[in-house]
Amino acid sequence: MQEAERSVASHGSSDDPAPDLTPLGARIREYRQMRKMPLRELAERAGASPSFVSQLERGRTSASIGMLRRIAGALGLTVADLFTEENEVGHRVLPRAHRPELPTGPGARKYLVSQRPLRNVEVYVGEFDPGASTGDEPYAHGDSQEIFVVLGGRVTLWLGDQDEARSYELAAGDSIEYRTSVPHRVANAAEEPAEVMWIIAPPTPD
């Protein structure tokens, strides 16, 4: 790990010239803070030491491409995202068929709509067949603001721990806000498919 941490950060091999590390380090710190991820957690996920990540964010050291891949992966990004300036991102169309799909339970599909590099908001859409859900257990992630919108059909949203969860029956056009730190679960008990949307700000680590 120490050898990788001392290597040069670049788009190619460790022998390539190093790019300007100050914007790169600032960008890594920006993504980490957006996700409310402690420096120590990023270091642990990337297999690096906290002191190394701290120096990298401050532009005082460099990293191998392998280390940058691990850091980008821990942040939910690609290495290319770390080198992309915000003003380089223009208007982008994401066709429905090209939306990245996330693993979900049987009969449910969840897609990422907001395109990387993610900065201030995450947007997902989900499709639930009759009887499908996000899983038997409620889940939580980070501590951001989440807006849940029903685009079509009817679903039940539970908020709170499983034994004390409060249920909300939501129809097309209904929405509800909550913190992502509150355990939540979605299920479609209707006889027709349902489509929903999650809007999360700022993005959460999980």
pLDDT in tens, the chain (206 residues): 443 444 333 333 333 334 444 688 988 998 888 777 899 999 999 999 999 999 999 999 888 888 988 998 888 777 777 776 654 445 678 888 888 888 788 999 999 888 766 567 889 999 999 999 999 999 998 899 999 999 999 999 999 987 889 999 999 999 999 999 999 999 999 999 999 999 999 887 65
What values do phi and psi take at 111, rounded to 5?
-125, 145
Quick one: CA torsion of 171, 114, 178, 188, rounded to 10 degrees?
30
Give the pLDDT confidence score for residue 91 in this predicted structure. Answer: 67
Phi/psi at 175 (5° precision): -145, 160
Entry pTM: 0.62
Residue type, 147: I
Cβ partners under 8 Å of residue 100, min gap 6 = 111, 112
Nearest to residue 199, comparing CAs of 122, 118, 127, 119?
Answer: 122
- Cβ within 8 Å of residue 145, ≥6 positions away: 177, 179, 180, 200, 201
Q: What is the pLDDT at residue 88?
A: 47
Which of 32, 116, 31 lies closest to 78 in space, CA to CA?
116
